[in-house]
Copies of this chain bind each other. A is one copy, B any other.
Amino acid sequence: MPVAEASVRKRTAGIVGAGSIGSAFAIVFAAAGHRVVVQDPAAASLENARTRVSTSLQELKQFDLLDEPAEDVAGRIAYVADLSQAVHEADFIQECAPERLELKQPLFTEIERHAKPDAIIASSASAIPASRSMGHLDTRHRCLVCHPGNPPYLIPVIEIVPAPFTDPNVAEQAQRFFAAAGMSPIMVRKEIEGFVFNRLQGALLREAYCLFRDGVASIEEIDSIVRDGLGMRWSFMGPFETVDLNTQGGLASHAQKMGPAYARMGKERGQDDPWTSDLVERATAERRSSLAIEDWQKRTEWRDRQLMALLRHRRRLAVNQNNSTTAQAAK
């Protein structure tokens, strides 16, 4: 089956929708060496996409994030108005239409009609599972969600979310395809609305809106508390490693010390999902298999050096920005 080798061979990728996500995917696929066809019915969108891709590729080059000349990568991308043209030769099809079910469903019918029988069809949906948007297709076994961050050529993570009807081989091929393109694909093990990325983002945003609503903090103050606090650690550790390293004794000790307070805060929002001892034990067992408790101290020292490096990075960035402002002002 030709798709089995999508991750190693250079293939053709069809992108349906030339908005910000579509054009960003064009960069991911073309930089990985694939031929790319971007489709959008609106000529203006296509033109915007072409400009955006070209600018972004030049910036990537300036930041040392591109191995080839920008023009070589751009040269592998074609822009077309016709759906069948984008889809009929593609080995991998990435749908990037707006997040509306009534729009995605007929679009997938159309994509299926023109796609090669062995092409993988992926949806970029942020929250809508494939079961809802693609369940009506005859060849739904080769359909799934591949949900990126925004923009996908700068956010490494991509959620691979098969529906119950998705062929597991297809999901694995999609995972390999994105890994080969330098992304960090995560296979989501159960299909739920919002997947993992937007479940987590939604939980934080809902609490943030509550705090703003209740006059506890302003929008800018909440952003600042994340930007200069929580987000710094999460940007290189994630939430579990963060609290694992925050408390002597690790995750189990954190759950014991902070769990009751977090449960009370949750109750205030109507949530009752207790961190049972069984749950904490299972979480701790997995965490301890990544980091033995004997290595905990060393890892907190690693965390501190990572934070120092991040602070130094911020300072240099601020200095450069000031310098370039000064340089511009001097012109």
- Residues on A close to B: CB < 8 A? 20, 56, 59-60, 63-65, 99, 126-128, 149-151, 154-157, 159, 184, 186-190, 192-194, 196-241, 243, 246, 248, 257-258, 261-262, 264-266, 269-273, 275, 279, 282-283, 286-287, 290, 300, 304-315, 317
A203 touches which of B204, B212, B246, B257 (Cβ 8 Å): B204
What is the distance, in angstroms, from A237's C-beta to the closest C-beta of chain B?
Answer: 6
Q: 10 closest pairs, A vs B, by CB? A: A223-B238, A231-B234, A203-B207, A157-B229, A235-B235, A270-B270, A154-B307, A202-B262, A231-B235, A157-B228
CA distance A151 to B233 in the complex (A): 10
Residue pair B240, A202 in contact (C-beta under 8 Å): no
SS class of chain A's interface: helix, strand, loop or mixed?
A: helix
Closest to A155 in B: B229
Q: In whole angstroms, what is the CA distance A216 to B204 when docked?
A: 18
Partner of A286, one of B184, B194, B218, B237: B218
- In the complex, besides A65-B312, A99-B257, A197-B225, 10 extra interface pairs with C-beta distance below 8 angstroms are A20-B300, A59-B304, A65-B308, A154-B307, A186-B224, A200-B204, A219-B240, A219-B283, A223-B241, A231-B231
What are 22 A-B interface contacts by the 8 Å CB criterion? A65-B315, A127-B258, A150-B246, A188-B216, A189-B215, A194-B265, A200-B204, A200-B207, A202-B258, A203-B204, A208-B240, A212-B279, A219-B287, A220-B240, A224-B238, A227-B235, A231-B233, A231-B238, A232-B235, A236-B314, A306-B317, A310-B313
- In the bound complex, residues from chain B placing their C-beta under 8 Å from that of A200 are 204, 207-208, 211, 222, 225-226, 230
Q: Is the CB of B237 within 8 A of A186?
A: no
Q: Are B265 and A199 in contact (CB under 8 A)?
A: yes
Please report the C-alpha to C-alpha distance between residue A212 and residue B197 in the assembled complex, in whole angstroms.
Answer: 13
Given contacts A202-B262, A217-B189, A262-B206, contact A229 B197 (CB under 8 A): yes
Q: Complex Cα distance A59/B202, Å? A: 37
List of B residues within 8 angstroms of A197 by Cβ: 225, 229-230
Enumerate chain B residues within 8 angstroms of A157, measured Cβ to Cβ. 224-225, 228-229
**CB proximity of A125 to chain B, nearest CB, Å:** 10
Tell me if B204 and A239 are in contact (CB < 8 A).
yes
Cβ distance A215 to chain B, nearest Cβ, rounded Å: 6
Residues of the B chain whose Cβ atoms lie less than 8 Å from the Cβ of A246: 150
Q: Hey, which chain B residues are within 8 Å of A266, CB to CB? A: 202-203, 206
Contact present for B203 and A221 (CB under 8 Å): no
User: Cα distance A204–B311 when bound, in Å?
Assistant: 24
Contact B209 A190 (CB under 8 A): no
- The chain B residue sitting closest to A19, CB to CB, is B248
Q: Which chain B positions have C-beta within 8 A of A241?
A: 223
**Contacting pair B224 A199 (CB below 8 A):** no
Q: Taking the nearest CB of chain B, how far is it from the CB of A228, in angstroms?
A: 4
